[in-house]
């Protein structure tokens, strides 16, 4: 009979051989499974070929900026976020076909997360309606105008300190409120996987 140490070594060796075999088989039959990507999303215009937008391209964009957002959940609780990213309209606009408009009611924007949750918006709701960030520190009406944004980093409070931001380049969708009471947070998307634009 084997002692406890020898049994442990055999178990470790067995696990190692199993993993080695799995990667060897992956080399024969295809690539080994990988974790779902969180640092890029596919932009699909009118059902066409997906266009890959990466976090690194957003981070290096001249339009990269800091934006604060306010939002309420379904219970009405208000929260405040600081984000860094690029306006969604600026990411989509270069690929819009001639003669089409993003900011009209007939344009449909579908944002899908990595868990297959989808949020659907009319173009005029995201790009034709002025939305705001309502600060908690002073009464303000109508607030500070903000655009719909794809963020590569964020913080769940108001800050401008780069050290406070996190999320590992997970691409997140934010947009503002039309009124301080609007429950917009349920439509924020935590990890964007695809954005479809249909005209």
Q: What is the pLDDT of residue 135?
A: 87
Q: What is the pLDDT of residue 123?
A: 98
Q: Compute the average pLDDT of residues 166-187.
A: 91
Q: Give yes or no for residue 10 having a pLDDT over 80.
A: no
pLDDT category at 138 given cuts 50, 70, 90 is low
Q: What is the pLDDT of residue 22?
A: 40
Q: What is the pLDDT of residue 166?
A: 87
Q: What is the pLDDT of residue 23?
A: 36
pLDDT category at 24 given cuts 50, 70, 90 is very low
Q: What percent of the chain has pLDDT over 90?
A: 73
Q: CA 82 to CA 103: how far, in whole Å?
A: 25
Backbone angles phi, psi at 196, to 5 degrees: -105, 135
Higher pLDDT, 19 or 170: 170
Q: Compute the average pLDDT of residues 10-22.
A: 40
Q: Give yes or no for residue 25 having a pLDDT over 50.
A: no
Q: CA 170 to CA 153: how far, in whole Å?
A: 7
pLDDT category at 82 given cuts 50, 70, 90 is very high
Q: CA 173 to CA 151: how far, in whole Å?
A: 6
Cα dihedral sign for 80, 64, 127, 190?
A: negative
Q: Compute the average pLDDT of residues 10-32.
A: 39
The pTM score is: 0.79
pLDDT category at 167 given cuts 50, 70, 90 is low
């Amino acid at each position: 009979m084997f002692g406890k140490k020898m049994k442990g070594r055999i178990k470790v060796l067995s696990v190692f051989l199993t993993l080695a075999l799995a990667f060897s088989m992956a080399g024969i039959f295809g690539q080994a499974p990988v974790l779902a990507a969180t640092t890029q999303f596919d932009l699909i215009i009118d059902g066409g070929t997906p266009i890959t937008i990466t976090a690194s391209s957003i981070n290096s964009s001249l339009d990269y900026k800091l934006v604060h957002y306010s939002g309420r959940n379904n219970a009405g609780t208000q929260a405040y976020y600081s984000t860094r990213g690029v306006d969604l309209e600026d990411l989509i606009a270069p690929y819009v076909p001639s003669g089409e408009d993003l900011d009209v009611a007939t344009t449909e924007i579908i944002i899908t997360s990595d868990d297959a949750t989808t949020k659907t918006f009319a173009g005029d709701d995201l790009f034709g309606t002025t939305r705001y960030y309502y600060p908690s520190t002073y009464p303000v009406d109508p607030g500070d105008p903000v655009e719909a944004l794809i963020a590569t980093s964020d913080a769940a409070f108001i800050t401008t300190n780069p050290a406070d931001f996190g999320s590992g380049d997970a691409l997140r969708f934010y947009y503002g409120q039309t009124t301080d009471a609007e429950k917009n947070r349920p439509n924020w998307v935590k990890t964007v996987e695809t954005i479809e634009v249909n005209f």
